Chains A and B, each alone.
Chain A
Amino acid sequence: MLLALLGGVLFAQDKPKVEPWVCPPGFEGQKLSVFNWSTYIAEDTIPNFEKACGVTVDYSIYESSEAMLSKIIQGNPGYDIVVPSGNTVGRMIELDLAIPLDKSLIPNFANVSEALRDPSYDPGNVYSIPYQWGTIGVGYNREKVGYEITSWEQVWNYPGKVAWLNDPRAIMGIGLHLLGFDPNSTDADEIAQARDFLISKGGNVVAIAGDDGQVLLERGDVDITIEYNGDIVNLGYECECDTFAYVVPEEGSVIWVDSMMIPKDAPNVALAHAFIDYILHPQVGADISNYTTYASPNQAAIDLGLIEEVYLNDPAIYPDEKKLERLFSIDHVGSEVEVIYSNAWDELLIFLGR
């Protein structure tokens, strides 16, 4: 009995835990164009897909959902896959910029965690399937700051240099939340109050970082940066030091899910479906999250133990129940209200840092 069990364990370790992903036939020689966030994929994810399907992939990156949307909205320049965050998924659906997904071509959708299915901005996952998820919080240099940061107040009052993230809706949402309003407020007056509140708290902001706050932090150009968790967590694991810390302030912050979508007029819809299925394969999904140190929506990858233990147990990547309660998501509010937010953000940029 024991021997059999032991043998089973040994046997299980000998061969890979899951069969590798197999590409559906007939794509040889074709092309796929993927448009994704910067620093957001494992090094071998794309080459392996190219090998499996016999295709070539054009991989381009963007620094914010808005930057991505601005390219799609003026007529899709030829992207097959984009990876926006929740509120932008909602916007793309509202503006009729996405193609409904054929789930029969994406059997690996079954691997997606129940908790992350059926979001409010895309009921039934008609247009979007989760890619990775995470939080927005504060990355800081322990040595420079000299104490542990736990609250937003400490960020606002810090005497040294600070960078904010170029994610207008998220930062405005934090401002609204701290003022006691709905972070997805549609009230122009509340949004204006949040703008003024953030300007009054942003005297120490020297830069608005477009998804590269971790670089500013690492280079010592700022001591504190508001960033997506994975980029800061990655910094800590890479330097194998305690210098860089990530915290979700106690007042609460943003939780987000980035999802894969096929934008309208995508040149290769069939291959795009195959690509989404590939990403949802447990090993592929695990490789991405093990590399980027963001949280995986792939329950199968977690259950099969493919995500590295140390990441799975890191509360900065997978927040515990108590922390999850403090997190709020940025939702789709409709394009009319988005205009109010973007005007407020323009004005905030001008008066920040004085």
Chain B
Amino acid sequence: MLEAQARRRQQRSGLLLALPAIIWLGLFFLLPLGIVGVFSFLTREAAGIVSLPFTLEHYERTFGVFSVVLWRSVWISVVSTVICLLIGYPLAFFIATRQNNWVRQLCLFMVVLPFWTNFLVRTYAWRILLGDQGTINAILQGLGLIDAPLTLLNTPFAVILGLVYGFLPFMVLPIYASVDRFDFKYVDAAHDLGANDIKAFFRVVLPMTLPGVFAGSALVFIPCVGAFVTPDLLGGTQGLMIGNLISRQFGQSLNLPLGSALSVTMMLIVMVALLAYVRLGNRRLGG
């Protein structure tokens, strides 16, 4: 009897503690989300106004003409995430396995160092590096490796490069945390049982550090799908992504319903991808 009362009291005080967060999320996340959802079904009026009746027009356009861009956003994000993983895992593994604590701290510091400079400035810098007469082409031509400049800027390649560059730390840090927690006695055990290094890594180390891989992948994939600065500055006409279309609808075009429909669609893409990923992860971790 007393015990139940105590639990109820505990629950109530827990709710009280969470109240600020609940109000915050309700007011600034759920409510706007609801508005975006409703807007996406409303009719567009001139001058940035919306009105009844409800219509599916904006979703028809989203999955019609704009599907090219949806598809491009997804594949660019997937490729960027995979590259981040392929670079980020070995890097995180390298850092986490340094014996010297000072070296480890220095490495981590260097991973987050780029954040000290504004993202926009760093992306503009890529424009100068990647241009036809940019630094990279100048070096390659100077070394006599190529005759004509390579087309690097204003391509999907440039967008992927920019995204990987920008979001790599989000992959490295969670994986580092996972590897850091990993007890290397398991590897010794695997060796004792006859596994070589490669086998020990894929059968023991990788499965046990998967939580970091999943967290890192999600942290990279989500901002990639919504990116708009990177494709805007580096992608040209070939690298247009859904984020660019959304920003255009809320800015220049003043087509709030279409912008809302595109936003909702983007959220659905992210949600479906994450759910699939989590299920995959649970199966791997569970098995």
Q: CB within 8 Å of B: which residues of A?
A: 64, 66-67, 69-70, 73-74, 95, 161, 168, 202, 205-208, 219-221, 334-336, 338-339, 342-343, 345-347, 349-354
B254: chain A residues within 8 A (beta carbon): 69-70, 73, 342
Q: How far is the CB of A159 from chain B (nearest CB, A)?
A: 12
**Selected contact of B240 from candidates A64, A336, A350, CB within 8 Å:** A350
Q: Does B180 contact A (CB under 8 A)?
A: no
Q: CB within 8 Å of A: which residues of B?
A: 44, 46-48, 65-66, 68-69, 128, 131-134, 151, 153-154, 236-238, 240, 245, 248-255, 258
Main secondary structure of the interface of A (DSSP, over half): helix
Main secondary structure of the interface of B (DSSP, over half): loop
- 13 CB contacts below 8 A, A to B, read A64-B252, A67-B251, A206-B154, A206-B238, A207-B237, A221-B132, A335-B46, A338-B46, A342-B254, A345-B253, A349-B237, A350-B65, A354-B238
Q: How far is the CB of B3 from chain A (nearest CB, A)?
A: 56
**Do A74 and B48 contact each other (CB < 8 Å), given the known contacts A206-B238, A219-B133, A353-B237?**
yes
Q: How far is the CA of A67 from the CA of B128 in the complex (A)?
A: 25
Chain B residue nearest in CB terms to A63: B252
Residue among B132, B153, B238, B251 with the most chain A CB within 10 A? B132
Chain B residue nearest in CB terms to A65: B252
Q: How far is the CA of A161 from the CA of B236 in the complex (A)?
A: 11
A338: chain B residues within 8 A (beta carbon): 46
**Selected contact of B66 from candidates A70, A202, A336, A350, CB within 8 Å:** A350
B128: chain A residues within 8 A (beta carbon): 219
Q: How far is the CB of A96 from chain B (nearest CB, A)?
A: 10
- Do the beta carbons of B132 and A220 come within 8 Å of each other? yes
- Do the beta carbons of B154 and A207 come within 8 Å of each other? yes
**Selected contact of A220 from candidates B68, B131, B237, B248, CB within 8 Å:** B131
Q: How far is the CB of A212 from chain B (nearest CB, A)?
A: 11
- Do the beta carbons of B237 and A206 come within 8 Å of each other? yes
A207: chain B residues within 8 A (beta carbon): 154, 236-237
Q: How far is the CA of A342 from the CA of B249 in the complex (A)?
A: 9
- Do the beta carbons of A342 and B237 come within 8 Å of each other? no
- Do the beta carbons of A73 and B248 come within 8 Å of each other? no
B238: chain A residues within 8 A (beta carbon): 206, 353-354
3 tightest A-B CB contacts, nearest first: A335-B46, A353-B237, A220-B133
**Do A346 and B236 contact each other (CB < 8 Å), given the known contacts A95-B47, A219-B131, A339-B44?**
no
Residue among A64, A70, A345, A354 with the most chain B CB within 10 A? A70
Q: How far is the CA of A95 from the CA of B237 in the complex (A)?
A: 32
B255: chain A residues within 8 A (beta carbon): 339, 342-343, 346
B249: chain A residues within 8 A (beta carbon): 346
Q: How far is the CB of B155 from chain A (nearest CB, A)?
A: 8
Q: How far is the CB of A219 from chain B (nearest CB, A)?
A: 5
- Do the beta carbons of B47 and A335 come within 8 Å of each other? yes
- Do the beta carbons of A346 and B132 come within 8 Å of each other? no
B44: chain A residues within 8 A (beta carbon): 339
B65: chain A residues within 8 A (beta carbon): 347, 350
Contacts A208-B236, A221-B153, A346-B245 given; 19 further ones with Cβ under 8 A? A67-B251, A69-B254, A70-B48, A73-B47, A202-B237, A206-B154, A207-B154, A219-B131, A219-B134, A220-B133, A335-B46, A339-B44, A339-B46, A342-B252, A342-B254, A342-B255, A349-B237, A350-B245, A351-B68
- Do the beta carbons of B69 and A346 come within 8 Å of each other? no
Chain B residue nearest in CB terms to A352: B237
Q: How far is the CA of A73 from the CA of B253 in the complex (A)?
A: 12
Chain B residue nearest in CB terms to A336: B46
Q: How far is the CB of B28 from chain A (nearest CB, A)?
A: 19
Q: How far is the CA of A220 from the CA of B154 in the complex (A)?
A: 13
- Do the beta carbons of B240 and A206 come within 8 Å of each other? no
- Do the beta carbons of B252 and A70 come within 8 Å of each other? yes
**Selected contact of B48 from candidates A73, A350, A352, CB within 8 Å:** A73
- Do the beta carbons of A206 and B252 come within 8 Å of each other? no
Q: How far is the CA of A74 from the CA of B250 in the complex (A)?
A: 11
Q: How far is the CA of A220 from the CA of B66 in the complex (A)?
A: 31
Chain B residue nearest in CB terms to A215: B127
Chain A residue nearest in CB terms to B64: A347
A219: chain B residues within 8 A (beta carbon): 128, 131-134
B237: chain A residues within 8 A (beta carbon): 202, 205-208, 349, 352-353
Q: How far is the CB of A48 from chain B (nearest CB, A)?
A: 31
